[in-house]
Amino acid sequence: MRPLEDIRIVSLEQYGAGPFGSMHLAELGAEIIKVEDPSVGGDVGRSVPPFAKDGDSLFFQSFNRDKSSITLDIRTAEGRTVFEDLVRSADAVYSNLRGDVPEKLRIRYSDLREVNPRIVCCSLTGFGMTGPRSKEPGYDYVLQALGGWMSLTGEPGGAPQKTGPSLVDYCGGYVAAISLLAAIHAARRDGVGTDCDLSLYDTAISLLAYPGTWHLSAGYEPARTYHSAHPSLIPFQAFEAADGWLVVGCAKEKFWQRLTVVMDRPELAEDPRFLTFADRNTHRDVIVPLLEDIFRARTVADWLAPLYAAGVPCAPINDVAGALTDPHTLERELIASVETDAFGEVRSLRSAVRVGPPGDDRAPTRPAPPMGADTDRVLRELGYDDDRIAALHAAGVLGS
């Protein structure tokens, strides 16, 4: 058995952040019953271009493997009844909607505790269910701007930049997954469920981490750094070689000593201006241009071989194709392959969350489901007979 096979989560999720979080739990065996509103065509992620057709998209496949899908309009009386029957059988109700929507849909713990006292109601919203922005929609770009991230990303003097991947969304999904598991554990222990009021805003602010601590405690003013350099550890940045770019990171003094040997410049290690991190930071304007000139003299491959041999942290700056074909990516089984009706074989990225010994911690994976594919099966598992299911279909509660 996979670790979470005894967990059932009813999910009112959409787009990226919410589905990303629950997909990790699904890969670990949790049953994710994805409730899609038929009146709006289900999860909007199904129609994200450019690779979208027949109610499916490669975007949707990226976030929804290993889940079940039912169509259900919970705003109708009949749909509400079905939803509450689902809640009785579940450990959690999970959603990523605007902060004021959980109250409107009556999916908070105060709304559902009479149905299931142990239910966990986890809401991942843009700004949380309290605070002056709680009714605003939240998207990764918006949160990276508000959270200060864009002021730290890019080259000094250039335009503010967002990170390449939507990291606030994805980190918010991880936050939701951790919170869900913790709350379900407590509910099983204590017999009482709870709310989890999570937000992408909280996630973005919390991930300011040590620059935030430095600012709050010592008045430090974080800023963008040249070639993505660490703010105080030198050298730790991107360097241009003769034919491309690489990152070299001397996070310990021993790495600096080894680097000077690899560069055939051991005298730099003895130069009083460059003896320590503090010294090199003081003389940043001298040491960084000097290192740049040295790195430009060889190709990336010519640098990497001796750096690896010396144990100096380093890497080529790959493009996406390079990252996905790296031998380590393949050996770690990070790529899932599934067959879909709309696109044939779809290759996507597996979860980084793993449980089990190396080599025995990957279970088979299923493609993201067609909208409503599991509706009748899930209802039968709740005890609904064919006549009742047919009546719900006829009433439009389950969609056309």
Active site amino acids:
169
345 close to 338: Cβ distance less than 8 angstroms: yes
Instruction: Return the axis-axis angle of helices 253-262 and 300-310, rounded to nearest 10°.
Output: 130
DSSP assigned state of 298: S
38 close to 73: Cβ distance less than 8 angstroms: yes
Question: How many other β-carbons are positioned within 10 Å of the β-carbon of residue 242?
Answer: 13
Phi, psi torsion values for 187, nearest 5 degrees: -65, -40
Q: Where are the beta strands (DSSP E) in 233-313?
A: 236-240, 245-249
Q: Give me the amino acid identity at 346.
A: V
DSSP assigned state of 350: P
Q: Can you spell out the DSSP letters for 128-152?
A: -SSSTTTTS---HHHHHHHTTHHHH
Buried b (16+ CB within 10 A) or exposed e, 118-147: bbbbbbbbbbbbeeebbebebbbebbbebb
Q: Give me the amino acid identity at 305.
A: A
Residues in the chain: 400
Within 13 Å and on the Cβ side, how many CA atoms surround 46? Answer: 21
H or E stretch including 348?
A: strand 344-349
Which pair of tokens denotes residue 318? 């790959």
